[in-house]
Each structure stands twice: as structure tokens, then as C-alpha cells.
């Protein structure tokens, strides 16, 4: 792949979208963790709103500006859910700030690695099945943790596995976006996966710094 003007503009739109949406998420997180206390019903409603909004974003015939608005709604709801988790766990502002900075550092490094591999012509699509299997195992563990109590050591091991997985997903998602263009020139839909990678890395780092 060559990073020509067309690809450069497309990548720039993705980056700008990511930056704006992550800023919105963490602005909401910072504010609501001090002024808003969500109940279980509000959390469920926020999760439902995220799922519905993501579903509409992925539809090919939805206007790009409407998609961006829906993405903003997702970012707000995600900030509210994260802040609720932070309040419940009594996480300090210092811990939150360290987790944010560490997330930016990891995401940037993996993004650059993804760019290098993509420009070098490496197609990582074959690794998708292995990443999906590992993600499925991780989700199963998280579901089991709702019903069974695991030791702190076991929980932290899986937390670091999740951190590794979503860091690798940054490289993989970027590679697929630029080489395969699954959403064509739709930079909003293309940036969703990377946004979720960023949020998941942040959550894992936050848990590891408790």
C-alpha cells in the first residue's frame, strides 16, 4: 500500500474523528464522575443506546453527518458508563489521568506499528480468526466472573491478556481499514473499531492501576 494523497486524507479523517470522540468521552467521564451518579436502569439504557446507535452507524445508506452525530451519542453514553464504573470502584483522579496517558501512549505505538506494517504491504487479515477466538475466550471469562469469584491474581492475568489483545487489535483494525476498506470511504464507520480498541485499552489499564 502507498500512502498517497487519497489515503492520507482518509486516514486524517479517521484520526480527527477518533480524537474528537475520545475527547468527548473523557470530558463526559471527568464531569459525570463528580456530578452524576447513574443507577442500574440508566446504565442499561445507556448500553442499549450505544448498541442501537452503532447499528445505525454501520448501515451504508445513513448520511455521514448523521453517523457522526450518532457516534457522538455513543461517546457520551460510553463516558457515562465509564464514570459510573469509576465511581463504584472509587478510582482516584490521579489513577484516571495515568490510565488515560498510558492508553494514549500504547494506542499511538500500536497505531504507528500498524501503519508501518500496512505501508510495507503486510496483510494481517489471516490473523482475524485467532484474534476472534481469543476475544471470545475473554468474553466467556468476563461472563463467568459475573457468577463465580476468581482470585485477584487470576483476574489480573486475564486483565493483562485483554490489554494485550486490544493493543494488537489496533494494529489489525488499522491494517484491515486501509487495505480492505470494508466501509469504503466512510471514515466514521471505519473509526468505530479503533475507538472501541482505545476504550478497552483504557479500561484494562484502569483495572491494572487500582
Nearest 5°: CA angle at 196, between 207 and 128? 105
pLDDT of residue 152: 80
What pLDDT is stored for residue 3 in this prediction? 67
In the predicted model, is pLDDT for residue 31 greater than 90?
A: no
pLDDT at residue 209, rounded to an integer: 60
CA distance readout (Å), 157 to 104, 138, 160, 161: 22, 11, 5, 6
Q: d(Cα 192, Cα 22) in Å, to the nearest integer? A: 11
Greater pLDDT, 14 or 42: 14
Report the run of H or E that residue 67 belongs to, with start and end: helix 64-89
Non-local CB neighbours of 34 within 8 Å, separated by 6+ positions: none
Lowest-pLDDT range of 8-12, 55-59, 162-166: 8-12
The three cell numbers of residue 10 are 482518509
Q: What region, left, alpha or beta, does residue 186 occupy, with left being phi > 0 and alpha being psi -120 to 50 degrees?
A: beta
pLDDT at 170 over 60: yes
Q: How confident is the model at residue 166 (pLDDT cuts 50, 70, 90)?
A: very high
Burial of 40 (C-beta count, 10 Å sphere; 0-12/13-18/19+): exposed
Name the H helices within 120-151.
Answer: 128-144
- Give me the percent of the chain exceeding a pLDDT of 70: 94
φ/ψ bin of 59: left (φ > 0), alpha (ψ from -120 to 50), beta (otherwise): beta
Cβ atoms < 10 Å from Cβ of 162: 22
In this model, does residue 6 exceed pLDDT 90? no
Can you tell me whether residue 154 is helix, strand or coil? helix
Average pLDDT, the chain: 89
Please, which pLDDT band fits residue 48 given cuts at 50, 70 and 90? Answer: very high
Amino acid at each position: 500500500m502507498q500512502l498517497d494523497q487519497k489515503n492520507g486524507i482518509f486516514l486524517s479523517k479517521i484520526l480527527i474523528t477518533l480524537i474528537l470522540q475520545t475527547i468527548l468521552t473523557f470530558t463526559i467521564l471527568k464531569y459525570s464522575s463528580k456530578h452524576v451518579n447513574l443507577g442500574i436502569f440508566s446504565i442499561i439504557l445507556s448500553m442499549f443506546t450505544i448498541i442501537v446507535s452503532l447499528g445505525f452507524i454501520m448501515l451504508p445508506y445513513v448520511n455521514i453527518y448523521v453517523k457522526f452525530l450518532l457516534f457522538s451519542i455513543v461517546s457520551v453514553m460510553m463516558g457515562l458508563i465509564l464514570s459510573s464504573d469509576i465511581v463504584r470502584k472509587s478510582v482516584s483522579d490521579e489513577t484516571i489521568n495515568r490510565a488515560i496517558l498510558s492508553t494514549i501512549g500504547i494506542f499511538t505505538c500500536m497505531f504507528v506499528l500498524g501503519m508501518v506494517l500496512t505501508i510495507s504491504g503486510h496483510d494481517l487479515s489471516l490473523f482475524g480468526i485467532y484474534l476472534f477466538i481469543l476475544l471470545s475466550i475473554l468474553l466467556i471469562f468476563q461472563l463467568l466472573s459475573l457468577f463465580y469469584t476468581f482470585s485477584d491474581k487470576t483476574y489480573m492475568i486475564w486483565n493483562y491478556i485483554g490489554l494485550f489483545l486490544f493493543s494488537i487489535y489496533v494494529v489489525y483494525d488499522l491494517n484491515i481499514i486501509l487495505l480492505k476498506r470494508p466501509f469504503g470511504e466512510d471514515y466514521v464507520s471505519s473509526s468505530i473499531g479503533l475507538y472501541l480498541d482505545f476504550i478497552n485499552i483504557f479500561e484494562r489499564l484502569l483495572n491494572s492501576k487500582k
